[in-house]
Amino acid sequence: MKKGLFLVATTLLLATGASAQLTLGFKAGLALPSSSSTLGTSTDGVTTTTNYGTLGKGIPVSLEAAYFFNENIGIQLDATYLIGLDVTMGEDTQAGSIYDLYARTMQLRLSPQLVVKTDMGIYMRAGVVMPIMGKTTVYEYDQTGFVGQELYTEVEMKGKFSLGFIGAVGYQFELSDKLSIFGEIEYVGLSIKRKSAELTVFDINGTDQLANYTTLTGDPLTVDYEDDTTPGDINAQGTKSPYHSLGFNIGVRFTIGG
């Protein structure tokens, strides 16, 4: 009986080893906002519109490594760097009161996932997305923002550790036994709780006044965000920012073994 079990286990291991496969890939694409979160308003003096979107808009560039236990099931790890595109939060285009407020995100993410593929080249993957470093910079220009003077500021926002969902459906076309190209539609559901905000640029009429910011305004250069605050606490109440996106990727994969 023991010999029979041993033979079965050995056979299964050999079969898995024979079909096991490692793939390495590179991909890039475009991520667009996938939710209608309110970011601010824009006006031209006649009409006012609400700006909807998320801070996850950008160009994702990824390296991926996948290990398949058999022909259909495997695990994959993506390392993705999001090169953010400008997201408009507020705008005023009236002559004499020009105002522009927008944000841009730069973020490195890791995404462990489960992959299921078919013999027809169609595959699906789903897992967890984890931002491990990065920042969102908020840029503000106000023509009369500081006692009637031209004001330009940059604030770097950083977040706390957060987890989100990532999933994709794609099609892979084999050029050879070792080389494939693919295209996929990818969804990222991610909200990040703020950790800190630091003012890094403070210009008045084109002159750097960052060193004088606290004296001129009475406010600190850096604000930390907490889950709970008390009266008189200089830190701010923590809030979540949306980074949800829906986009597409195209790329190439190299197969090792199998």
| Tens of pLDDT, residues 218-228 | 999 999 987 76
pLDDT at 231 over 50: no
Question: What is the rounded average pLDDT of the residues 237-243?
Answer: 81
Q: What is the pLDDT of residue 178?
A: 93
| Tens of pLDDT, residues 33-63 | 987 788 999 998 889 999 999 999 999 999 9
DSSP 147-212: TTEEEEEEEEEEE----EEEEEEEEEEESSSSEEEEEEEEEEE-EEEEEEEEEEEEEETTEE-GGG
Of the candidates 89, 102, 210, 95, the residue with the CA atom closest to the CA atom of residue 146: 210
Domains in the chain, ordered, with CATH?
Answer: 29-256 (2.40.160)
pLDDT at 7 over 50: no
CA atoms within 13 A on the CB side of 223: 19
pLDDT at 243 over 70: yes
Structure tokens of 96? 């004499």
CB atoms within 10 A of CB 93: 12
CA atoms within 13 A on the CB side of 68: 21
- In the structure, what pLDDT confidence band is assigned to residue 147 with cuts at 50, 70 and 90? confident
Question: What is the rounded average pLDDT of the residues 103-124?
Answer: 97
Q: CA 80, CA 14: separation in Å to the nearest integer? A: 34
Q: CA 3, CA 11: separation in Å to the nearest integer? A: 12
